[in-house]
Structure 1
Amino acid sequence: MKNHIGPAIRLTLVLLVILSVLYPLVIAGVGRFAPGGGKGETVTVNGKVVGYALVGQKFTEDRYFNGRPSAVDYNAAGSAGSNKGPSNPDYLKAVQVRIDTFLVHNPGIRKEDIPAELVTASGSGLDPDLSPAAAKIQVARIAKTRGISADRLNQLVDEQIKGPLIGLFGPSAVNVLKLNVALDALK
């Protein structure tokens, strides 16, 4: 028994140093090479931080592109989905309200043409991106509200599309905050 206690204690101490000291330091060092230096990628306008690129923002005005709905009202401290399944009556009611609201603000769009991501919340409740199709379906509303041509808005959306990671992983996406900042910069 004594032969096993010594090595077990030494192994525990070695793993404690590796996993609670060395590993976090390595991860923090790697984070320094990420956008924002590991502190998050901020979006600034005229020297003022207007949001974080990796956290969804709430845009409800007709003059802006709307992002994906949030089950936690875009509260980054409480990131979560709704945990309600597709057959839950409360969930179905919430989705129907979102569909009805979208149709009121985007006349001329048919219900079946609305991308699902515009009426269903993401798993985290903080998804900052939309598909290009979800952004482009909102162009007519914004063009009318801002008096900008739909062609120019479609071009703006195209300029904001980021492709899959290294061209292979994930779908193309548009960051809603960056798109709305670029929209405000249009003259």
Structure 2
Amino acid sequence: MKTYLLPAIKMTIVLIILTAAIYPLAIAGVGKLTPGQGDGETISYKGRVVGYANLGQKFTKDKYFWSRPSAVDYNAAGSGGSNKGPSNPDYLKDVKSRIDTFMKHNPDVKKSDIPAELVTASGSGLDPDLSPAGAKVQVARIAKVRNISADVVNNIIAKNTEKPLWGMFGPAKVNVLKLNIALDELK
């Protein structure tokens, strides 16, 4: 018994030190090298923090870009999807309702031109980004409500589009909060 007990205790102590002390400290150290120093990258507007770059927010006014829908109403404490399959009647009713709402506020857009990301919730329910196409389909509404040209809104999208990592990993994307702040900064 002594033959197995002493090595097991030693191994347990070594693993506790590695997994409960050294590894967490190393990860915290790496986090300090990232934007936000490991606490998340905040976005400020007029001197106050208005959100986080990696958490989606709800925008419903016609003068703003709308975010991707959230199954958890953008509650970061309850992150998650709806767990409803594509043939679930409740899910289909939700998607149809989102399409109808989008069409009501964007009458110039054809139903077939609405990107799926604007009517389906993301897996986390907290997606802060849209594809450039998801932003561009909203340009006519925003330009009309703000009484500015569509070119101005398209330029804001172009300036805020993040290219794929190293030009090849992941899709191009735009952060909705940053887009809406850029709209509010227009003179």
TM-score (norm. length: structure 1):
0.99
Counterpart Cα distance in 2 of 1:148 and 1:137: 16
Q: Deviations over 1:107-161 (max 9, x none)?
A: 1211111000000000000000000000000000000000110011101100000
Gaps of 5+ in 1: none
Q: Post-superposition shift, 1:3?
A: 1.3
C-alpha RMSD over aligned residues: 0.6
Counterpart Cα distance in 1 of 2:6 and 2:166: 49
2:98 — aligned with what?
98
Spell out the pairing of 1:1-187 with structure 2 (5 A cutoff): 1-187=1-187
Counterpart Cα distance in 2 of 1:95 and 1:13: 53
- Name the count of aligned residue pairs: 187
Counterpart Cα distance in 1 of 2:63 and 2:84: 31
Q: Post-superposition shift, 1:166?
A: 2.0
Counterpart Cα distance in 2 of 1:135 and 1:59: 13
Does structure 1 retain, via aligned residues, the 8 Å contact 2:108–2:140? Answer: no
Counterpart Cα distance in 2 of 1:144 and 1:108: 11
Tell me the secondary structure at the aligned position of residue 50 of structure 1: strand
Counterpart Cα distance in 2 of 1:95 and 1:34: 36
Letter in 2 for 1:79: S
Counterpart Cα distance in 2 of 1:4 and 1:178: 59
Counterpart Cα distance in 2 of 1:180 and 1:155: 13
Tell me the secondary structure at the aligned position of residue 37 of structure 2: helix
Counterpart Cα distance in 2 of 1:114 and 1:58: 18
Counterpart Cα distance in 2 of 1:108 and 1:46: 34
